[in-house]
Amino acid sequence: MGKLFLVASFISLLMADCEPNIENDKRVIIKGEIVDPQANPIQAIEVTTSVEGYVLGKTTSNTDGSFEMVAPESYDQSFLIAINVDAGNNYTSAKIFRDEDEIGRPKIYDLGAVTLRPTSNFTLTTTRNSTTSDHINVQINYLATSCVYDFNNGLQEDPSLCYEQNYISRTTNEINSNLDLQLEVIRDIPLQITYQIDEEPATTVEVTPNQQNFEYEIFY
């Protein structure tokens, strides 16, 4: 009986440590407007506030792009406002952190206009037409589809945190002589594809995905 009590107490302590620190009877307002690069409103975009994975509030943008919600206040350092994260709806995402100083914590988080860029589902395939055992290496350089903001900096884009340079590299082998690479990239932004067949000189081409679904194929 004593052992069971100790185990139950230990589990309770673990759960207590994992729960977010919520300020008693305190609430914050999060509001703003979601637009595209041409300032057109975007509707049905999910906005959440969370602490260490615990969702404190959730809403979606209206037809005019506006959103507003009331959520519990938390003094955790990981207080996060997430916009369109893992949504898969062909727009970029945004994550907004706030100052950890209790004195500087606002009661109203007015984000103003948050711009999301349209994305493209980009697919690159390679097809080997030759009867030789040539292999091809492909590298795609592209921009990530997420942006991280500091609320205190007025949601200014920091090049080191927004749409960072990224790349993916793959090589065929005896088992898989063709490649099929799928990425979500920012639409209308050029990406670079560099490919090399065995020891031949590398070739670099610039491709601009300008549609929701964009395919590019390399024959070798």
- Spell out the domains of the chain, with CATH numbers in brackets: 2-115 (2.60.40.10), 119-219 (2.60.40)
b/e burial code for range 191-202 (CB count within 10 A of at least 16 → b)? bebebbbeeeee
- Strand 119-127 vs strand 213-219: parallel, antiparallel, or unpaired? parallel
The count of other CB atoms within 10 Å of the CB of residue 82 is 19
Owner of token pair 């993916």:
168
Per-residue pLDDT tens digits of the chain, which is 220 residues long: 444 333 333 334 334 445 666 666 788 999 999 999 999 999 999 999 998 888 999 999 999 999 999 998 887 777 899 999 988 899 999 999 876 555 556 788 999 999 999 999 999 999 988 777 789 999 999 999 999 998 877 777 777 789 999 999 999 988 888 999 999 999 999 999 999 999 899 999 999 999 999 999 999 8
Cβ neighbors of 144 (< 8 A, separation 6 or more) are 163, 164, 165, 166
pTM: 0.81
